[in-house]
Amino acid sequence: MSQVHSNLHRNAWSDWWEGTRRTDIWWTLAWFDIVLRYRRSMLGPIWLTLSMGLMIGGMGPLYSSLFGTELSKFFPHLALGIIFWAFFSSVVTDACNAFVGSSNYLKQGYFPISLFVWRSLARNLIQFAHQIVLYIPVAFWAGISLSWTMLLILPAFALLIINAHALGLLLGLVCTRYRDVTQIVTSVMQMLMFLTPVFWLPESLPGRARYVLWNPLAQMLDLLRTPLMGGVAHIHSWLGILVWTAICLTAATVLFSKYRRRVVYWL
């Protein structure tokens, strides 16, 4: 195998960049994943929007009554919480199988492994795009007035993509070597759903229980949801996510540099 195409002769940076720059490949693979999932369906990916809309529409009035909160205040909070949490959960669980699910490609020829992490992330971004549109009618109904603070979602979303890709490399490598970790991650995500303010309001917590807001997913949700509701996220959420990003990038870089060549042998 020539040096140009061999993973063994590339350093970690070159291998990562080779997979990252091939947007034509991983976007196409991601789109085909969606198309194949809804093959022979009349509505296709529109089912993603409809199913999420039914969930939000059914849970909004119910949980608003249970928590004794005004629906116009609670409904946008719940809608964004469910939409973003669905994205978080799907990104994390799919990252565990990024390489295992692409074993047919990796076993047949040289592909930079970062390409398949981008493929998994792109697939989830396509699904997210079908679901976030549901917030538009909710925002109009609730009378949310957006201001310049909405632009804060751009750096927040950039941090989300950086963390998602770093976590994808990290979990992809670990779960390919140790398959039981996938089940552990799935169980942890189910638990974190109830420790993250998806269905409840953070201000309803008593003072001694506010430690649950140190959860990185709760901080990321705050950064993404608050600007879309016309507010500004807490500074501790920015600081917490920046620290978490540094940890994720460091761990992903170390594992990727050391173990990327072993992925094919672990499949």
pLDDT tens for the 267 residues of the chain, in order:
344 455 555 677 888 888 888 888 899 999 988 888 877 777 777 888 888 888 888 888 888 887 778 888 888 889 999 999 999 999 999 999 999 888 888 888 778 889 999 999 999 999 999 889 989 888 888 888 777 888 899 999 999 999 999 999 999 999 999 999 999 999 999 999 888 888 888 877 776 667 777 889 999 999 999 999 888 888 989 999 999 999 999 999 999 998 888 888 887
CB 49 within 8 A of CB 133: yes
State phi, psi for 3 to the nearest 5 degrees: -65, -30
Domain containing 212 equals: 7-266
Q: Give the integer Cα–Cα distance in Å for 256 and 267.
A: 16
Residue 179, in any domain of the structure:
yes
Tally of structural domains, the chain:
1
Q: Is residue 2 part of a domain?
A: no
- Residue 90 maps to a domain: yes
The answer to whether the CB of 56 falls within 8 A of the CB of 138 is yes
Residue 261 lies in a domain: yes
Q: Is residue 245 part of a domain?
A: yes
Residue 1 lies in a domain: no
The answer to the question of residue 137 being in a domain is yes
What's the Cα-to-Cα distance from 81 to each of 49, 85, 99, 123, 233, rounded to whole Å? 15, 6, 29, 20, 14
Residue 228 forms part of a structural domain? yes
pLDDT at 3: 46
